[in-house]
Amino acid sequence: MIVYENVSKKYNDVTVVDNLNLTINDGEFVVLIGPSGCGKTTTLKMINRLNKINEGNIYIDNQNILDVDAVELRRKIGYVIQQIGLFPNMTIEENISVVPRLLKWSKEKCKQRVHELLEMVNMPYEENAKKYPNELSGGQQQRIGVLRALAAEPPIILMDEPFGALDPITRDALQDEVKALHKKLHKTFIFVTHDMDEAVKLADRIVFMSKGKVLQAATPEEMLNKPEDPIIRNFMGKLSYSRYCNDLTCADVMKKRILTVLETKKTLESVELMKHKEIDSIIVVDHEDKFKGIVTIQNIREHGKAGETISRITESNVDTVSVSTNAKDAFDKLIETNVDYLVVLNPDKTAAGIITRTSMTKALASVVWGDAE
Amino acid sequence: MEMRFVWQHIYLVSVSCVFTTIFGLLLGIFAYISKPARSVILWLVDILQTIPVLALLGLIMIAFGATSTTVIIGIVLYSLLPIVRNTYIGLENIDPGIKEAAQGMGMTKLQRLFKVELPLSFPIVFTGIRIAIVTSIGTAVFGAVVGGGGLGSTINRAILIQDMPTLMQATLTLMAMAVFFDIVMGYIEKRLKTR
């Protein structure tokens, strides 16, 4: 368990990390995210003491990291950086076994471990171990970077934007691999990124930072649904809606500008109104604004007489849904019943809006291409 | 021309180059590690280079007399600059990502220096050594003035008695020596840099 206790860090007079309190549990995959300069990398690098702590303490398993020799500490913490940082003068095998060799593992044990690790990422030992880093592609180099961090089986792995410099396809593949490694190895991963997609994909818990403070620490699901700060909402952009379409309700997808008439209106008035707005049906409400039904132009033509109130010919037996109904259910209903639209009702039975086929198309489009609004 | 002088010359150059390399590397590493020492060291080797060779040898002669020791010390001081500078620059310019990785892996300062930083900067350091050796072949000629021997003596005498063939021979030998060392070391350097 890693515990930050009132941790602050200043560069000259600029506060980079401001009285941070955070607890990271064993085996958790925590992603630190935020706009640049929010202090996420500094927060990460304080764990292996590459950055000094000005105030406060960090404890790993109840031991203050300042009480441990920095070199000893780092050998027990895996570290992957954006620039990859493989040693060009060493072979892949030597690169992977750097920390085990520092820890004076036997030669056989080192070799066996390198075998094991290369196999884990499907890079056969015979083909790759004796190569030098510059003979590998960027993606493969970073795979080795990850293996190097894992080599001495540290319980904690720190990753500082490890996939930032890779092309999107390679990045995607490596994210999958890292996620799989985390599932398999049950180590604590602390991962810094500024890419919300990456965070959502990898994290058990996302810690959103801004100006050296934690704005929200929550599961990806929770953060997407209930971002606690406008900064977070902005940062996530379209991600929040589109990805979690299962949680869309009728209120999110309905058309809000609807036309209603009082049930005491006369037929001719209503026909005029419909003509004017170029629609062929209208929602009828009573004096308290409660939904009564709908009137179509056909109803009026067939049964209506001039000068009559429309309440007589209002069709009250129409399909309605509530604002809190899941949008997917509403769409299903719309398709099944083959009506032109569904009326959406507020809890107090007033009309809130309608769902048409167009609203359905729009909602689907926003899932596929992102929210246009 | 006596072969004795050629060997003497080579002796002067090789002994002094061993010492320059050792001192140059140490000073370069020290300049890299210690910020306060850096400006002093780099300034000092610069100043040494601006003193005319003859004047420098004269000054050293006051302490050590007209011996080969004087010449060797002179050459060492005079050729420090390229090695110190290249060592310092080579170490300083290593990719910060690699340095950070080395530190993050839990290497001590010395481990970082010997396992990562020096091996990586070695091609540049080697270039410094090559420049030092080639220039010291020329510098050693002045050794004759302070009694150090070498091809400088041959040239001096040839000039005095106007012995043109010997003068030509000695000069060509010097040139051949410089070109030979330059080509051989240039080749090694190329091999080092391709990795």
Question: What pLDDT score was predicted for residue A291?
Answer: 87
A23: which DSSP letter? E
The whole-angstrom separation of Cα A203 and Cα A28 is 8
β-strand pairing of A188-193 with A213-218: unpaired
Backbone angles phi, psi at B149, to 5 degrees: 80, -155
Percentage of residues in chain B having pLDDT higher than 70: 98
What's the whole-number mean pLDDT along residues B90-98? 94
Question: What pLDDT score was predicted for residue A371?
Answer: 54
The whole-angstrom separation of Cα A118 and Cα B35 is 41
Question: What pLDDT score was predicted for residue A243?
Answer: 47
Query: Which site among B105, B109, B192 would you substitute to test the A interface, given the most A Cβ atoms closer than 10 Å to its Cβ?
Result: B105
Question: CB burial class (10 A; 0-12, 13-18, 19+) of residue A292?
Answer: buried
pLDDT by position in tens, chain A (length 373): 999 999 999 988 889 999 999 999 999 999 999 988 899 999 999 999 999 999 999 999 999 999 999 999 999 999 999 999 999 999 999 999 999 999 999 999 999 999 999 998 889 999 999 999 999 999 999 999 999 999 999 999 999 999 988 888 899 999 999 999 999 999 999 999 988 889 999 999 999 999 999 999 999 988 888 888 888 888 876 555 544 556 677 887 888 778 788 888 888 888 888 888 778 788 888 888 888 888 888 778 787 777 788 887 888 788 888 888 888 888 888 888 877 788 888 888 888 888 888 888 877 777 666 654 4
Q: Are the beta carbons of A99 and B120 separated by less than 8 Å?
A: no
The whole-angstrom separation of Cα A268 and Cα A247 is 42
Q: Are the beta carbons of B111 and A102 separated by less than 8 Å?
A: yes
As a whole number, the mean pLDDT across chain B is: 91
Do B13 and B136 touch, CB atoms closer than 8 A?
yes
Question: What pLDDT score was predicted for residue A239?
Answer: 59
Question: What is the interface pTM, i.e. ipTM, of the complex?
Answer: 0.81
CB nearest to B98's CB, from A74, A82, A85: A85
CB nearest to A89's CB, from B101, B107, B119: B119
Q: Are the beta carbons of B97 and A50 separated by less than 8 Å?
A: no
The whole-angstrom separation of Cα A211 and Cα A209 is 7
Q: Where are the alpha helices (DSSP H) in A138-296?
A: 138-150, 168-185, 196-202, 220-225, 230-236, 239-242, 250-253, 267-277
Is the pTM value of this prediction over 0.80? no
The whole-angstrom separation of Cα A152 and Cα A264 is 81
* Contacting residues of A for B116, CB less than 8 Å apart: 87, 89
Tokens 């300062």 correspond to what residue?
A: B109
The type of residue at A223 is M
The whole-angstrom separation of Cα B45 and Cα B35 is 16
The whole-angstrom separation of Cα A105 and Cα A99 is 9
Do A44 and A32 touch, CB atoms closer than 8 A?
yes
Q: Is B93 on the interface with A (CB under 8 A)?
A: no
Question: What pLDDT score was predicted for residue A292?
Answer: 85
Residue closest to B157 by CA, chosen among B170, B176, B173, B139: B170
Do A294 and A315 touch, CB atoms closer than 8 A?
yes
What's the whole-number mean pLDDT along residues B159-188? 91
DSSP notation for A292-334: EEEEEHHHHHHH--TT-BGGGG-B----EEETTSBHHHHHHHH
Q: Are the beta carbons of A89 and B107 separated by less than 8 Å?
A: no
Q: Are the beta carbons of A86 and B107 separated by less than 8 Å?
A: no
> Hey, what domains does chain B have and what are their CATH numbers?
3-193 (1.10.3720.10)
Question: What pLDDT score was predicted for residue A370?
Answer: 61
Do A271 and A297 touch, CB atoms closer than 8 A?
yes
The encoded tokens of residue A118 equal 């290369």
Task: Give the chain A residue whose CA is nearest to the CA of B95.
Answer: A85
Query: Which site among A79, A87, A96 would you substitute to test the B interface, given the most B Cβ atoms closer than 10 Å to its Cβ?
Result: A87
* Contacting residues of B for A99, CB less than 8 Å apart: 105-106
Question: What pLDDT score was predicted for residue A324?
Answer: 81
